[in-house]
Amino acid sequence: MEINADEVLIRHDLQLYNPNSFEMILRDFQIVATTTEGEEVTNLTIEGGAVPGQSHRNFTGTGLIAMKGNLSGLLSSKVTGIIGLNFLGVVKKTIPLEVTVLTSLKDALKKIALPTIGVRAEFGNITRHAINITTYLDVSNPNPFGMSVDAFTLNITNETGGTVGSFTIAGSQIPAETAVTLTGSGSVLINALNAKKLIITLYAKAGANIAGISKSLPISAGIEIVIPDLNQFIPANTPLELSLGVDLQRVRGGLKGNMSLEVYNPTKIPLIASDLVVFYYGVKNKQKYYITEGTLTSGELIPQGTTVLYGDIVLLYRKLLNFSGGGILPDMVFAQLRANLSLPGIHLSIPVAIGTYIDFEPLRPSG
């Protein structure tokens, strides 16, 4: 039996053995196939011929079956014909032949192969809450007839079974004995980068129309994907650049300043700068002493761009006083920034620090 998109072909192979010492003549072979409901689905004639004594001969014929949208459990093929006995070139006796053969179409359809699926995934840009992912499905149809697949539903989980993302990929027609690549994009939660492993599981239905019969089969596949290394988003030769600026002005009782932190983020990751504290120290006789501290606003550092964060500070003269050595005010002021860079939702925290000296001479109180 052969099944394709347009028809069901049944090959009938009649094997006859003549045990006699004289020749047998076979003629008027006819095969009529009917369903269990009595519907005739094929009718063919097979050319007869002679079978020499004590020998075998095969008689073959192929029937085209039209099921008209209904799948019969069994086909009953009735073979009829005439067998004649040939004595010295004269047919002396004829015997009617009738044989019934049962064929299961449903068993044949069970042999339809499911499409094979290969899954590939690539991670893309990281946002504050998610990481983009592109998935490629290599779908191969090994059957001699075309198939269709509905939209694929993809579910992405971590090693504990927690769902970190899901999306769909549009379905497609797959020609006979052909492979196609389907592409879809989605995202997974940023905390997926904390997982030990990620698994993509996909579900869909494959369908085929075979000789007028529609057949639907569920398909599924799963694959473990490699969790991206954050280092691939960080350029090896371009550093994170920080520049701290402090603009101090004399006011009554001390100094008031505007602080700015300029950060160039060379990575593709939207890092968050937080816990930004600037500690101020007086410097006198090469010794430092604590004066005060101020904070800057937290913020997201634009990937591969420059971000400026701001804050303000007040340095009171009474805090600046130092009576050790000559004079009562510092020679200069040292400002040291400490901060944390992180990506919320994942285990990544980078402490950073930067310092700058401020010449105190222009800032001394007048008079």
Instruction: Note the pLDDT tens digit of each residue in 109-138.
Output: 666 788 999 999 998 888 888 999 999 999
Strands 349-359 and 332-342: antiparallel
Which residues make Cβ contacts (< 8 Å) with residue 90, sequence separation at least 6?
none
More confidently predicted of 91 and 40 = 40
The answer, yes or no, to whether residue 102 has pLDDT greater than 70, is: no
Task: Say if CB 206 and CB 182 are below 8 A apart.
Answer: no
Report which secondary-structure segment, H or E, holds 92.
strand 90-104
Q: What is the residue extent of each domain of the chain?
A: 2-109, 116-228, 241-363
The answer, yes or no, to whether residue 1 has pLDDT greater than 60, is: no
Its CATH architecture, for the domain 241-363, is Sandwich (2.60)
In this prediction, residues 293-307 reach a mean pLDDT of 94
Q: Tell me, what's the pLDDT at 136?
A: 93
Nearest to 5 by CA among 158, 213, 193: 213
The chain-wide mean pLDDT, for the chain, equals: 83
More confidently predicted of 113 and 35 = 113
Distances (CA, A) of 259 to 81, 310, 311, 354: 106, 6, 5, 13
Phi-psi region of 312 (alpha: psi -120 to 50; beta: other; left: phi over 0): beta
Nearest to 68 by CA among 7, 142, 147, 4: 7
Cα(52)–Cα(18) distance, rounded to whole angstroms?
7
pTM: 0.63
Q: Enter the CATH code of domain 116-228.
A: 2.60.40.1820
In this prediction, residues 66-85 reach a mean pLDDT of 67
Range 349-366 burial, b when 16+ CB lie within 10 A, else e: eeeeebeeebebeebeee
Per the listing, tokens 């222009």 go with 362
Q: Tell me, what's the pLDDT at 84?
A: 75
Cα(111)–Cα(38) distance, rounded to whole angstroms?
25
The answer, yes or no, to whether residue 10 has pLDDT greater than 80, is: no
What is the C-alpha end-to-end distance of the chain, expressed in Å?
111
Topology of domain 2-109, per CATH?
Immunoglobulin-like (2.60.40)
* Tokens standing for residue 365: 């109180």
DSSP 366: P
Distances (CA, A) of 194 to 135, 149, 167, 199, 217: 20, 34, 21, 14, 36
Examine domains 2-109 and 241-363 and report if their fold is the same. Answer: yes
Q: Where are the beta strands (DSSP E) in 105-192?
A: 116-126, 130-141, 147-149, 152-158, 163-169, 172-174, 178-189
Distances (CA, A) of 209 to 173, 263, 343: 12, 62, 51
More confidently predicted of 236 and 248 = 248
Q: Tell me, what's the pLDDT at 273?
A: 94
Instruction: Count CA atoms within 13 Å of residue 122 on its CB side.
Output: 7
Q: Tell me, what's the pLDDT at 163?
A: 94
Q: What is the rounded radius of gyration, in angstroms, for the C-alpha atoms of the chain?
A: 43
Cα(39)–Cα(26) distance, rounded to whole angstroms?
28
Q: Tell me, what's the pLDDT at 348?
A: 75
* Tokens standing for residue 97: 């032949």
pLDDT band at 263 (very low <50, low <70, confident <90, very high): very high
Nearest to 51 by CA among 79, 81, 11, 12: 81
The angle subtended at Cα 285 by Cα 280 and Cα 288, nearest 5°, is: 25
Q: What are phi and psi of 239, to 5 degrees?
A: -80, 160
Cα(241)–Cα(264) distance, rounded to whole angstroms?
5
Per the listing, tokens 């060379």 go with 266
Q: Tell me, what's the pLDDT at 89?
A: 62
